[in-house]
Amino acid sequence: MASAFEYAPAPESRAIVDIAPSYGLFIDGEFTEAADGKVFKTVSPASEEVLSEIAQAGEADVDRAVQAARRAFEKWSALPGAERAKYLFRIARIIQERSRELAVLETLDNGKPIKETRDADLPLVAAHFFYYAGWADKLDHAGFGANPRPLGVAGQVIPWNFPLLMLAWKIAPALATGNTVVLKPAETTPLSALFFADVCRQAGLPKGVVNILPGYGDTGAALVAHPDVNKVAFTGSTAVGKQIAKTVAGTRKKLTLELGGKGANIVFDDAPIDQAVEGIVNGIFFNQGQVCCAGSRLLVQESIQDELLDSLKRRLSTLRLGDPLDKNTDIGAINSEEQLTRITSLVERGESEGAERWSPACELPTSGYWFAPTLFTNVTQAHTIARDEIFGPVLSVLTFRTPDEAVAKANNTQYGLSAGIWTEKGSRILAVANKLRAGVVWSNTFNKFDPTSPFGGYKESGFGREGGRHGLEAYLDV
């Protein structure tokens, strides 16, 4: 929808970040080439510009990094908790100091709007390190008995949707509890993890405590399977999560999995419509919908369907899609060509199965990977778009008549990560929240995160919790 007043571009300067033409693996406190010399390129999804060339870790590199982490473990785990805490506090502070630089970097490498990296990702990254720093010398009081011990070397594999935030979720509790880590960032977003290596250098973190191994799925598989890894933490797809669960079967490796979702956002007829619309938009279009806990299934009470959809469409027409570095941008680029293809094919499937597709008038840039915010009506529970995780800016709208029906439909999924409830009635919130089989339930809000709050799924959304006191358990011998 063309509006009377267009916004002038308000681009954030990229001069603040200095991206080197190439990066190595970060092993034992040093940047190093891959043993077999392999490299890959990381591009900016908004422009397809090559940002840098990155060393690609192979099996030999995984082994070297695990050995470095093993050597470092002895001293790191023996440090008094208060000393480990100080390192983590240092890291938190340095992240705050370099927050703008890291936000621009993340936006360049991931394609998400600067508004989100600046106001959501980076503050949360720092907050996670602050939060877990404080736990390092208080583990006796965490409710896991006296003197809980670290597990050893943690092999961590993270996705591309929140590269630095997922790194923080993994590394902060691991280090606080006295483990050392080998982390594999996603192949499309390796840069912020490599910058984090530099943060570790500035913080004076002992060598080998944190090791970063960029690479593809095979690198992650080698890390997960390495016999000297004691703990595996993975965030990503359910399919890969199941594969990892099979790999660690019969070993003593402790495993936590944060996997897919198909969150139901339930709007009752007495909901505050304007707030609900904002919540729906935030629930599915935040980070281009590339969020495991996205509210990708909208369940609307039948009596307000028309009113709500009108409001929602009006609101979607005001979303601005474009340059992620522009501070006015709401919707950035899809992370990769591969992901764009996946979204496109699922959306075509939705159309072919008879759901009705709608998008606001929306001009897509000519280079880069883009997908307009999309809404499907006439969706039934049997439709692929109501069952499979799309991981993109695509919302499926279903309706219900009674609270029981809403609960039944919300729970009718293999996943169980998130859900939303919109109603003025407090007792209904509590009753419905009780019945939803999901690890996070947002009432009259959506997509809120905080380091003090456990996050994780039921059913095939994985197991274990990240964040809060609960998040410590994954890294302790309890």
Partner 1 sequence: MSDRLSVFKTYKLYVGGKFPRSESGRVYEVTDSKDNWLANAPLSSRKDARDAVVAARKAFGGWSGATAYNRGQVLYRVAEMLEGRRGQFVREVADAEGLSKSRAAAVVEATIDRWVWYAGWTDKIAQVVGGANPVAGPYFNLSSPEPTGVVAVLAPQDSSFLGLVSVLAPVIATGNTAVVVASERSPLPALSLGEVLATSDVPGGVVNVLSGRTSEIATPLAAHQDVNAIDLAGADDVLAKELEIAAADNLKRVLRPQPVDDWSATPGIDRMTAFLETKTVWHPTGSLGASGSAY
By CB under 8 A, name the one of 249, 352, 361, 382 that touches partner 1: 249
Interaction with partner 1 in 51-110: which residues (CB under 8 A)?
A: none
Q: Kindly tell me which of 87 and 422 has the beta carbon lying closer to partner 1.
A: 422
Among the listed residues 258, 389, 466, 473, the single catalytic one is 258
- Closest residue by Cα to residue 187 from 43, 367, 392, 368: 43
By CB under 8 A, name the one of 438, 472, 474, 476 that touches partner 1: 438
Residue type, 364: L
Q: Are 316 and 104 in contact (CB under 8 A)?
A: no
How many Cα neighbours within 13 Å face the side chain of 174? 28
Measure the CA–CA gap between 222 and 379, rounded to whole angstroms. 41
Site string for partner 1, 12-51 (x = CB under 8 A): ----------------------------------------
Asked if 242 interacts with partner 1 (CB under 8 A), we say yes
Among the listed residues 200, 292, 293, 362, the single catalytic one is 292
- Closest residue by Cα to residue 264 from 134, 475, 438: 438
By CB under 8 A, name the one of 129, 132, 160, 463 that touches partner 1: 463
Length of the chain: 478
Asked if 145 interacts with partner 1 (CB under 8 A), we say yes
Q: Are 320 and 331 in contact (CB under 8 A)?
A: yes
Residue type, 341: T
By CB under 8 A, name the one of 113, 150, 190, 468 that touches partner 1: 468
CB of 8 to partner 1, least distance (A): 31
Asked if 141 interacts with partner 1 (CB under 8 A), we say no
> 419: which strand partners?
264, 441
307 is catalytic: no
292 is catalytic: yes
- Closest residue by Cα to residue 22 from 180, 207, 214, 176: 214
Q: Are 362 and 372 in contact (CB under 8 A)?
A: yes
Q: Are 356 and 377 in contact (CB under 8 A)?
A: yes
Q: Kindly tell me which of 71 and 428 has the beta carbon lying closer to partner 1.
A: 428
- Please classify residue 454 by burial: count the beta carbons closer than 10 Å to its beta carbon, then call 0-12 exposed, 13-18 middle and 19+ buried: middle
Task: Please work out the total of residues on this chain that contact partner 1, with binding judged by CB under 8 A.
Answer: 45
Interaction with partner 1 in 406-435: which residues (CB under 8 A)?
A: 414, 424, 429, 433
By CB under 8 A, name the one of 11, 143, 354, 365 that touches partner 1: 143
Residues engaged in binding partner 1 (CB under 8 A) = 127, 143, 145, 238, 241-243, 245-246, 249-250, 252, 257, 259, 272, 275, 414, 424, 429, 433, 436, 438-445, 448, 450, 452-456, 458-460, 462-463, 465, 468, 470, 478
Q: Which are the catalytic amino acids? A: 258, 292
